Structure 1
Amino acid sequence: MIQLRRGQGRHRGGDAGAGIETLHAFSFGGFYDPQNVRFGSLAACNEERLRPGAGFAEHAHRDMEIVTWVLDGELTHEDSAGHTETVRPGDVAHLSAGTGIRHVERNAGPAPLTFLQMWLLPAAPGGPPSYEVVRGIADGTPLAVERAAAVLHLRRLRAGERTALPDAPWVYVHVARGTVRIGTEPALAEPGDAARIAGCEDLDLTAREPAEALVWEMQAAA
């Protein structure tokens, strides 16, 4: 079953006075919809927009897998484990909070910053925290998030190009750029749109124009 959710239907949050705008695909923070808490092990897919100088002050996480994809600009990450990294378009960052970690995220660059941040629930709590950045990840290269029994696939497609979606109990497709068709669905998916596919089997993704999509393959609901 394919459920296509439009980007314009996401909940708008953030702090306009601090230069932060957030679009929430799931219940998050003060926004709660009991019918939209998570899909598979994915508990959040936030699009964050930060003006230069804006950011999130130091805050804590635990028992959460957080994957970040930058669309435009540069994201600076600093954490209590001593990591300081700048994440740019084409890089993917993975924070495994484990037993607990504190971090700061900010736009230290001169241009507006837009990034996607996706939170997954681990199958079991605990474990040591960790942080890694994969630089310039290639199209089709999978990123395994083992604690959440999930794999992220990046798909960059030329106009008219088709790619198979993974067969899995839960597949989540977020369109970052361009326009795509999912399976034989009549409606096209555009930037900000997402498809939730339960029991994905023998489906593909076709680009109507050059496109970029983030595809989550999930084996557990956490």
Structure 2
Amino acid sequence: MLQAQLQVQRADDRYRGGDPPAGIDTRHAFSFSGHYDPDNTGFGLLVACNEERLAPGAGFAEHPHRDLEIVSWVLEGELTHEDSTGRTTTVRPGELQRLSAGSGVRHVERNAGGAPLRFLQMWLVPGVFGRRPEYEVVRDGTVGKGYALPGTDARLSVHRPRAGERVTLPPAPFCYLHAVAGRLTISGAESATLAPGDAARLRRGPEPLDPWGPTVTTVTAEENAEFLLWEMGGEPTYG
């Protein structure tokens, strides 16, 4: 019986992309654009987790999206967003940006400030296709308590445990953890230590799951730390 499977991806193992001469440095967690790995196309509903680093003045020219949930979390600097609805916003550290592309939207993302910009951009498969596009910026307090991505079986939370503190991961079939700062130790059926930029994928099953049984997994901060956690109920369903 499958209880839990833990897979760790080190920061240095991510595929490096972007356009360095243009000030764009991207580290991809999954197959993306010109990089294709048939064994690494997604996890749960998550199909992209890119760490984007933009030099001052650099950015992505206007481009289209359709039927994607695009979630951005700013780590440092300021992200300027413009889209085809005429909206322009600036997203800062500790703020979450959600763009539900739905039936189609075009947008621009750039670093309009004078300091380097670093942010995570995560793409998820929507629960319903062809919806009207939506956009929102969510403040840190909401994400800290857990942010349910509308129309999907996915929830994002940010955790900032102090040294020695422990966080119990939820008994979801799919958990994706991205270490932002500090060193973390994952303990359960399998164990691993994460440094900033590392990610862990924890898959559990079959249901029903006993949250206090052999699949329980905890994350302990070896020093003051921060990590993002996606918990997802399943994989994409098409058709």
State the TM-score, normalizing by the size of structure 2: 0.89
Residue range with higher mean Cα deviation, 17-26 or 141-150: 141-150
Query: Which of the two has higher C-alpha Rg?
Result: 2
Structure 1 match to 2:40: 36
Q: Does 1:213 align with 2:218?
A: no
Unaligned runs of at least 5 residues, structure 2: 206-214
- The ranges of structure 1 where at least 4 consecutive aligned residues each deviate by more than 4 angstroms after the TM superposition are none
Residue range with higher mean Cα deviation, 120-129 or 18-27: 120-129
Q: Does 1:102 align with 2:106?
A: yes
Residue range with higher mean Cα deviation, 201-210 or 66-75: 201-210
Q: 1:139–1:156: 8 Å Cα contact kept in structure 2?
A: no
For residue 163 of structure 1, report the CA deviation from its aligned partner: 1.1
Q: How many angstroms apart in 2 are the aligned matches of 1:123 and 1:88?
A: 28
Equivalent residues in 2 for 1:54-73, closer than 5 Å: 54-73=58-77
Equivalent residues in 2 for 1:147-162, closer than 5 Å: 147-162=151-166
Q: How many angstroms apart in 2 are the aligned matches of 1:30 and 1:137?
A: 37
Aligned identity (percent) is 58
SS in 2 for 1:202: coil
Q: Deviations over 1:58-99 (max 9, x none)?
A: 011110001101111000001112221111111011111111
Structure 2 match to 1:116: 120
Structure 2 match to 1:195: 200
Q: 1:7–1:193: 8 Å Cα contact kept in structure 2?
A: yes
Root mean square deviation, CA, Å: 1.3
**47, 57, 62: which one aligns with 2:51:** 47
The amino acid of 2:202's aligned partner reads I
Q: Does 1:85 align with 2:101?
A: no
SS in 1 for 2:164: coil
Q: How many angstroms apart in 1 are the aligned matches of 2:63 and 2:9?
A: 30
The amino acid of 1:187's aligned partner reads A
Q: How many angstroms apart in 2 are the aligned matches of 1:52 and 1:4?
A: 32
Structure 1 match to 2:26: 22
For residue 16 of structure 1, report the CA deviation from its aligned partner: 1.1
Unaligned runs of at least 5 residues, structure 1: none
Q: 1:153–1:216: 8 Å Cα contact kept in structure 2?
A: yes
The amino acid of 1:91's aligned partner reads E
For residue 147 of structure 1, report the CA deviation from its aligned partner: 2.5
SS in 2 for 1:168: coil
Q: Deviations over 1:22-53 (max 9, x none)?
A: 00000000000000000000000000000000
Q: How many angstroms apart in 2 are the aligned matches of 1:139 and 1:100?
A: 26
Q: 2:178–2:229: 8 Å Cα contact kept in structure 1?
A: yes
Aligned length: 222
Q: How many angstroms apart in 1 are the aligned matches of 2:69 and 2:9?
A: 23
SS in 2 for 1:181: strand
Structure 1 match to 2:172: 168
Q: How many angstroms apart in 2 are the aligned matches of 1:137 and 1:117?
A: 19
The amino acid of 1:213's aligned partner reads F
Q: Deviations over 1:3-33 (max 9, x none)?
A: 1111110000010111000000000000000
State the TM-score, normalizing by the size of structure 1: 0.96
Q: 2:54–2:118: 8 Å Cα contact kept in structure 1?
A: yes
SS in 2 for 1:137: helix
